[in-house]
Amino acid sequence: MNVPPRTITGALHAHNKSACDWGWQSLLAYGCHTSVVVIDTRAVQILQTLEKHKGTVIKTKWARENYHHTIDAPYGLRLASADTNGQIIVWDVSAATDRASFSDGGKPVLDLEWLATQDASHDLLVALHPPYSLVLWNADTGTKLWKKTFTDNIQSMAFDPFDPANLTLLGTDCILFLSDFSISKAPSSNGRKFYITTPNAPSPSSSSNNLGANTPATTPTSDKNSIRPARTALRRVRLLVGDSKQKGSATGEEPDPSMALNECLQLCYLQSRRNHILLVYPREILILDLNIHQTVGTIPMERSGSPFQQVYPCKQRDVLMCLHENGSISVRVRRKALIVASTPSAATTPVDQSFIGLHGDFYWNDPQDVIYDLRCQSDPLRVTKHVRAFGLACCASTERYAALIMSDGRILIWTLMTVEHHSTTVSNSLSHVVLTPLYSPGFSHNYDDFEIVPPPSSGLSNQVQKPTMKTSLADMICQPELKGEVGVQKPDRGILFKFVLTGFTSGIAATPTVIRVCPPLTTKNLHIHKPLVGIGTSVGLVQVFNLATGALWREYNIHTSTVRGIEWVSLCSFLSFSYANPPSSGVTRNELLLLDLQNGKTTQLRAHKGEEAPIEALKVSHQKQYFVVMFKERPFEIWDLRSLSVLREMPANFPVVTALEWSPSHKKRSAHQPLAEMSQSSLDLSGSTQHILDPNEGKSGQPVATKEHFVFSEQSGVLHHFWVEGNLVKEGAKLPSETSLGTITCITWKGETLVLGDVDGNLSIWDLKAKISRNYPTHRSSIKKVKFAPGKGNMKLLFMWNEGIDIWDTKEMQAVSSLKTPKEHNRVIDADWAASDRPVVIGADGCLRVHDIKLRLSCYPTEYTDFPDPVFCPYLLSSKASLAMKYTMQHQPWNSTYTLHLTGEYFHGDSSSSQEPAAHTLNSRGERMCEAPEEENFIRAVNEQFNIMPQDVKSFLPVCPYGTAQRCLVTARLFGDESEVDFWTVTLFYLKSEKMRLTCPAHKEHKETTGMPQESFQSSTVNSSQTNLHKTPSIDLSHLLDQKGEDMSSCTCVWEPPLDTCFDVLCDNKSFQKYQLDRVSLHDSKRATYEHTMKCAENLILLGQFDRAVQLYLETESENDNYYLNSLQACLVATVKSSGASQSTIKLVATSLIANGRLSEGIQLLCLINKGMDACRYLQTYGQWNQSVWLAKATLNFPECSEVMRRWVDYLCTPQVNQKSKAILVLITLGQFYKVLEMLFSLHYYDRAAMFAEACQEFGVLPDTEEMRTLLEKIYLEYARYLLALGNKKAYGFYCNKAAEKGQKVLQEMEWMSD
């Protein structure tokens, strides 16, 4: 097996904490000392180890995949890492090379983040340097675009996932909010400062008036509520006070010493909801709403629970994955708090009002609090002072897999699974505090990988049941906030979460002490040889790694103290010895074991010995017949390896041995040859050289006896020669010492060459045949080890000294390479040869590195690397192969049957349509074979990926109930294509909605209900078969309809779960409006200051909740300076609602206010008189695009909202903003499918445009117009050319035919060129 350069890592450095990231490609990257390790999470094996950092790696970050992939922008494994020296390296992981390397003056890096909001560039990287520098880099060229220096020390940063202009920085005593982040220039300001404070305790009466005035009828009346202290709620309401620390004292607020920001472990944005951030403390998590700058929820840690260490906020559902200090991972799911009824009959259970911990701890929560229920927790690990949890990384594409990185190098992969909820399984003692179950999107649980999703209407017996895959978190549970909604049909299948450990890998154990590689590869052991290396550790553990794959092969805990040496006696057994550090007396108890790797049997040698001098070395003869046990300052012992008996113990007056080595030369005699005759043979050191595995040995069938030689040196430098045969040990000649050499420390012997190293760094090389010796100074310190490389005629010599290793060519007597490690943490502990040109070194950092002969490379391209298990990763394919695999999975109408297998027809098309019969070479299965080797490699690589694809995906793709759109979504998740996942998730939802609208008699003409504009569906009454312009096969969409709906006057629409809140303004209007009303209600319940009350009143007016706004205005205290103004505003709001006669005057006043810089007040007045459309226009005119979109989605009817959104699309497409991908998603929500196709075509997204057109035709939502047919022909023609560039001639011909006349002309031109 080939041994490539690689690094096998071990325990982590303290600075490696949190240096981990799980990319969309399903690969995990983490730092280990100066190395970056990449793990294949599917097979749980090391994919790559990257080596170029000089400092300790402190950050790793995968590049985002939020862009359209083409041949020019292919799928690739880009990874950024940073170290303590400030060096940032952007890697090409598959090629094991750096794409760029840069730094900002050697300052360490605190945080890294890729920007993925621009369609123009995907190479922008933001780095945070201490104490307060922010740098934007072009990661492709290493160019610094700009640098921003702040005035406050910064610890970490977080980008708003919903608005790329918002950046939040966590300081030592404050939080900085930036709203002007741009790639074109550095932020102009230092941001707004905010400090966390707690309001002073008001009186009980004021507390109830302040927080409970909005819900007098819903105030809890139970005894538990009545005795609750008034200060309890307010103690959890922590405010973000802006600009100065003194401002808090002026407004009646006090700093909260328990929530000091320097104790904050993490700041991050909530990915599932806009304008929410998390502050993670060891005993508490705060959820802050940035609209009101106040905490809206708190997650306390149970009294007996392990403190928080890190939190990952999920995107698909409002779920938090929390890492605890004891190594456990908990899952917390957001629950909508229920309003507690005032009557006992309607009272809720304590579970609906409180937070229940796993240990039975009980915490009160207000009805309007943001509540995250603890749903499951993984098993805790044994955490000690030296073994701790170092980081948590979650799969970005599925969010059901979590990787736990431990400080000792272990990686644990936890999978989130669901089990059926059975109330009978709960113990009676806890039955009153058990949380209600979550609900699965499906109701059938007959399959592990699939569920049956019912059409949510009354009665499931007559419904068409369609399977769906459980690939992501969104497929496992419904949206928690939908529970209890009126008109929402919920399946009656309750589920519970559980964590299952599905993957585990470990590296080298802490503190390795010695390594030894097994006997080398020869012609005799070619078929059974494995390049194994034994590694001894300080805890008595011996690990055996396979150097060809880098995987841990065996692990043996066989010693009770530090392993001091390992010597292989065969390919499947070795000797090892250990002893504890001897006391001042210098004696200790030795352990000497023989281990058989085939059965794990250990044989203890010298067990009867007590305390003695420690063993210094073991030397096994080349024929594996004998071995020598050397002691410190004591004579050695000679053992027979076959009988495991002592042949001779040297006398006490024997000279102290400093180095010993066996001769590779040996002499054999047959059983009939007298021993005396053998004893007459020459004892000259230049005896005949013969290979250990003689091919003629043993052919006579008679046993052979082998005489073996060894030499050793004493402290005076005299070289002694001994030979051993059978039970005889004889001393040979003595050679005087070299006057120019110091004390000899090591000896190695190969062929006719003997090499000695001394304490002064000199090498003495003896040519035994010519009887010549030469001394060479190495100018190094004391030489600790010398060893020849394996292989006949290979005379490369490795020697190790205190600060590194050198490799010399003894034939030419010149240095080949050198590796110096002056730093203590990189100090070389031991070295050996893994192959004839592969030195292997283990350092004090606990990492084993297999180098090339130049000692420069210790990593290798994945293309030439062997792995223990097949690797499913389309990113490792060539650009064309990965794209071909993707398009084959998405849609293959050119094939009569859907198949995940490429044949030679991929490159040569279908011969059935050709005019002349052509003779093609067929394989054994009757498939056409490739004509070129590159074509064969292309098809083989893609088919290998198809073969190892997850079986549930292979089973589901041919039978996707929603056709092309759903296949594209499944493919995007499998590929980890962030851009495609978002696109097809939104597309599939709105295609299903429009299909239901077109087939529903009650809603066919009501475009507002489903978000589809009138002008986009002039031919909406055309049925599916008529709108399939080119006779595309129609998929079965009957499960979208109510089969009982024979009465066409009733609604036949089927309820579809809305998009997740992470899609924000891309959600349908009804869901968005409901979420905004819930949120303003939450803000109302959290009012603690006058400013917050006015903010709530403003939002209530914008949302049309005038009655509640009047109440808030009337709550103003008479001592307040704005008392009179607020009273007038209350009168105005109440009057305008009852009489609209003054609308013209109010509109005039609003216009005047806006013109004079009072934009907010003017907008409120316009909304007060139902002029929301005008308000949105003014907001857009003054650059408040996000606010205008929010107002339009939350208040306007669909036609007016569509107009505002279309103007926003135009803004997103401007060169300054350049977010055309987001603009396309907005157009999909508006039902502007023609515009979507047109924009995709203009962006050269031909593949996505063609798949979108196919999906629309399958759903029957495209009008049959000349304009649409022309556009589709253009799209199909360009897609055909694109497929031709990938080599798929068969698909090229199909889409040329589909493109009608234009395609036929191009097809004829191609045939003419090929002829």
Which strands make up the sheet holding 57-62, listed edge to edge? Answer: 57-62, 78-83, 88-92, 97-102
DSSP per-residue string spanning 212-223: HTT-GGG---SH
What is residue 432's predicted lDDT score, i.e. its pLDDT? Answer: 38
What is residue 1313's predicted lDDT score, i.e. its pLDDT? Answer: 53
Give first-to-last CA distance, the chain, whole Å: 47
What is residue 693's predicted lDDT score, i.e. its pLDDT? Answer: 37
What is residue 1255's predicted lDDT score, i.e. its pLDDT? Answer: 95
User: Quick one: 933 exposed, middle or buried, by C-beta within 10 A (0-12, 13-18, 19+)?
Assistant: exposed
What is residue 302's predicted lDDT score, i.e. its pLDDT? Answer: 86
Distance, CA of 922 to CA of 904 (rounded, Å): 9
**1027 Cβ contact partners less than 8 Å away, ≥ 6 residues apart:** 1019, 1257, 1260, 1261, 1262, 1263, 1264
Distance, CA of 112 to CA of 106 (rounded, Å): 15
Q: ∠ at Cα 72 (70, 74), nearest 5°?
A: 55
- Residue 115: left (phi > 0), alpha (psi -120 to 50), or beta? beta
C-alpha dist (Å) from residue 696 to 275, 692, 702, 792: 80, 11, 12, 18
- Residue 42: left (phi > 0), alpha (psi -120 to 50), or beta? alpha
Contact call for residues 663 and 749 (beta carbons, < 8 A): yes
Q: What are the start-end ranges of the E strands in 891-1002?
A: none
Print burial letters for 421-456: b (CB count within 10 Å at least 16), e (below 16). Answer: beeeeeeeeeeebbbebbbbbbbbeeeeebbbbbbb
Residue 131: asked if its preceding bond is cis (omega within 30°), the reply is yes
> Bridge partners of 451?
468
Q: Which two tokens stand for residue 1281?
A: 């050319």
DSSP per-residue string spanning 948-961: TS-HHHHHHGGG-T
Q: Which two tokens stand for residue 261?
A: 């920001």
Distance, CA of 472 to CA of 976 (rounded, Å): 12
Pick out the chain residues at pLDDT < 50.
201-235, 246-252, 339-365, 367, 425-433, 444-447, 454-464, 484-491, 670-672, 674-703, 911-920, 922, 924, 1008-1048
Q: DSSP assignment, residue 434?
A: P
